[in-house]
Amino acid sequence: MTYTPAGFLKNDVDFSPQVEIFAYNKYKCFGDPEILVESFDHNGTVERISAVIEAMNQT
């Protein structure tokens, strides 16, 4: 997993984040973008690893 501040990409890449992490302390004025697929109060590592393991077991 690589963490890249989205501001680094704004002029070079057409990028729309689909997951937000550490959402517990975001400012309410930013709202909830409609493009988000997932939102985690913390970093979401446990949830995401669990989802990967579950997907691997289904194949």
Q: 53 in a domain, yes or no?
A: yes
The single residue listed with the structure tokens 């979401």 is: 44
Using pLDDT thresholds of 50, 70 and 90, give the confidence band for residue 59: low
What's the farthest any 2 CA atoms get from each other in the chain?
Answer: 42
Q: What is the pLDDT of residues 19-40, one digit of tens each?
A: 788 888 887 777 777 778 888 8
Asked if residue 1 is part of any domain, the answer here is: no
Range of the domain at 38: 6-58
Number of structural domains found in the chain = 1
Give the pLDDT confidence score for residue 14 in this predicted structure: 75
pLDDT of residue 24: 82
Q: Identify the pLDDT of residue 1.
A: 66
pLDDT score, position 22: 80
Q: With contact defined as beta carbons under 8 Å apart, do 18 and 39 qualify? A: no
Beta-strand runs (E) in the chain: 19-20, 38-39
Tell whether pTM > 0.85.
no
